[in-house]
């Protein structure tokens, strides 16, 4: 039997099973009309994911410490992004145009912004396109394209939107022949820091560590420049796996793994690439990473706060987490900035959150902990529910 036999046979499974799977999106739970549940699933394949501001929260620890004030068992369950296909007018410009054609080549958005300081200069203009599922029309717009410093424009380029520059990835790019080719095309030693990794035992993820050996590891990998690119044999080999984030490459928390059986595998270009660097080099790199590494906690994919919605103001909302605290005096009032269309549309288009409700806010920017706790870069707001075990969840 081949995997394709299973894939083909799956095509014939009963309609009710497929329909049930399609209708299980959170959009349905938001009591949108039935067609919107479908639109929601389409949103996930057609529209880009919400644009993530590439800033690492400087106060991950502050936020963790805040949690120690909570009653035992309290745990804010990070809700997934709302799977809603927003009407065209409620989309950011960046969400509207996920595809573009430049110099006859197709690119797809990575939905991540890049600072102008990392760009080399304008190299031309492109035709960006997006699909409005509500009117079933393709919308087009001409936008300027910029080269990214150190990065081959045939693989990645930046497009200028009103909101800023966004990284686009070449569609169906040819696979690099060697590790050296990929490293050279993307200037990986400069654009990709190898800092946080976890131990992998098969599919199991072990402890997380932080290392400062990035330069040394890239140096060692330069010695493997001739390593050929291959199709993945297995995703689940033992070794270590770096969580990699790069503004230049438009990626956040992708994986780059070194396996004990001698491979470097990565999904940083979306496709799974595997380079056969040999067991000896892999062993050396794993030792370099582990030497002097300190234990750390993995960063969450999305940061959240939860609490009672106290006020809906002009450009902000106030969320008070006293209800979750052991002691009333420990409660914090967060000022969540709401200029961003992504949070405004939760408030204004979806509606449903009223003063006094328990809400969960996801944010991808900063939580500033000064005299006031200010949440910047909030991207979604949903009604939460306090479970009997103390967890705050976003209802199914």
Residues that bind other proteins (CB under 8 A): 1-15, 17-21, 24-26, 38, 40-42, 44-46, 49, 78-81, 83, 99, 106, 108, 129, 131, 133, 136, 138, 171-172, 174-175, 203, 205, 229, 231-232, 235, 270-273, 301, 394, 396
To the nearest whole angstrom, how small is the minimum distance from the Cβ of residue 24 to other proteins? 5
Calculate the alpha carbon distances from 304 to 160, 203, 379 in Å: 29, 27, 10
Per-residue tokens: 305: 């706060």
Q: In what order do the strands lie in the sheet with 385-386?
A: 75-76, 391-393, 385-386
d(CA 280, CA 310): 59
Closer residue to other proteins (CB): 189 or 250 = 250
To the nearest whole angstrom, how small is the minimum distance from the Cβ of residue 64 to other proteins? 17
Closer residue to other proteins (CB): 230 or 291 = 230
To the nearest whole angstrom, how small is the minimum distance from the Cβ of residue 316 to other proteins? 26
d(CA 277, CA 259): 10
To the nearest whole angstrom, how small is the minimum distance from the Cβ of residue 384 to other proteins? 12
Closer residue to other proteins (CB): 228 or 292 = 228
Closer residue to other proteins (CB): 204 or 326 = 204
To the nearest whole angstrom, how small is the minimum distance from the Cβ of residue 86 to other proteins? 14
Calculate the alpha carbon distances from 171 to 99, 126, 134 in Å: 9, 14, 25
Provide CB contacts within 8 A for 153, sequence distance 6+.
123, 147
Long-range Cβ contact pairs of 12-15 (< 8 A, separation 24 or more): none
Closer residue to other proteins (CB): 50 or 119 = 50
For residue 189, what are the β-bridge partners? none
Helix axes 15-22, 34-45, angle to 10 degrees: 80
The C-alpha R_g of the chain, in whole angstroms, comes to 23
d(CA 167, CA 147): 10
| 3-state DSSP assignment of residue 36 | helix
To the nearest whole angstrom, how small is the minimum distance from the Cβ of residue 252 to other proteins? 11
To the nearest whole angstrom, how small is the minimum distance from the Cβ of residue 7 to other proteins? 6
d(CA 308, CA 332): 10
To the nearest whole angstrom, how small is the minimum distance from the Cβ of residue 302 to other proteins? 9
Provide CB contacts within 8 A for 320, sequence distance 6+.
307, 308, 310, 331, 332, 333, 334
> Which residue in this structure is represented by tokens 């936008």?
143
Could you tell me if 301 and 187 are in contact, meaning their C-beta atoms sit under 8 angstroms apart? Answer: no
Closer residue to other proteins (CB): 116 or 137 = 137
Closer residue to other proteins (CB): 79 or 259 = 79
Closer residue to other proteins (CB): 174 or 314 = 174
């Amino acid at each position: 039997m081949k995997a394709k036999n299973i894939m083909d046979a799956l095509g014939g499974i009963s309609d009710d099973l497929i329909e049930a799977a399609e209708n299980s999106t959170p959009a349905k739970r938001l009591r949108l009309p039935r067609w919107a549940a479908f639109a929601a699933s389409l949103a996930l394949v057609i529209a880009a994911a919400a644009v993530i501001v590439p800033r690492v929260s400087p106060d991950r620890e502050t936020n963790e410490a805040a949690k120690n004030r909570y009653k035992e068992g309290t745990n804010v369950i990070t809700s997934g992004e709302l799977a809603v296909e927003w009407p065209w007018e409620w989309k950011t410009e960046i969400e509207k145009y996920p595809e573009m054609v430049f110099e006859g080549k197709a690119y797809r958005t990575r939905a991540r912004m890049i600072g102008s300081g990392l760009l080399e200069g304008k190299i031309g203009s492109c035709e960006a396109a997006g699909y409005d599922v509500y009117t079933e029309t393709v919308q087009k717009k001409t936008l300027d394209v910029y080269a990214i410093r150190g990065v081959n424009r045939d693989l990645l380029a930046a497009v200028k939107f009103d909101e800023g520059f966004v990284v686009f990835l070449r569609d169906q790019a040819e696979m690099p022949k060697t590790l050296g080719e990929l490293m050279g095309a993307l200037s990986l030693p400069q654009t990709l820091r190898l800092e946080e990794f976890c131990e992998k035992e098969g599919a199991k993820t072990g402890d997380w560590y932080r290392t400062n050996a990035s330069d040394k590891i890239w140096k060692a990998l330069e010695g493997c420049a001739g390593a050929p690119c291959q199709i993945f044999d297995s995703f689940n080999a033992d070794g270590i796996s770096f969580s990699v984030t790069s503004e230049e490459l438009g990626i956040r928390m992708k994986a780059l793994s070194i396996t004990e059986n001698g491979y470097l595998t990565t999904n940083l270009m979306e496709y799974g690439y595997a380079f056969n660097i040999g067991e000896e080099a892999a062993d050396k790199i794993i030792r370099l990473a582990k030497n002097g590494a300190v234990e750390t906690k993995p960063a969450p994919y999305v940061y959240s706060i939860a609490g009672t919605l106290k006020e809906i103001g002009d450009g902000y909302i106030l969320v008070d987490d006293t209800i979750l605290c052991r002691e009333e005096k420990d409660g914090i009032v967060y000022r969540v900035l709401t200029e961003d269309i992504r949070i405004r549309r939760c408030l204004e288009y979806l509606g449903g959150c009223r003063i006094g409700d328990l809400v969960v806010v996801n944010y991808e920017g900063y939580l500033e902990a000064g005299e006031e706790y200010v949440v910047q870069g909030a991207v979604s707001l949903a009604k939460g529910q306090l479970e009997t075990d103390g967890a705050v969840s976003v209802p199914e």
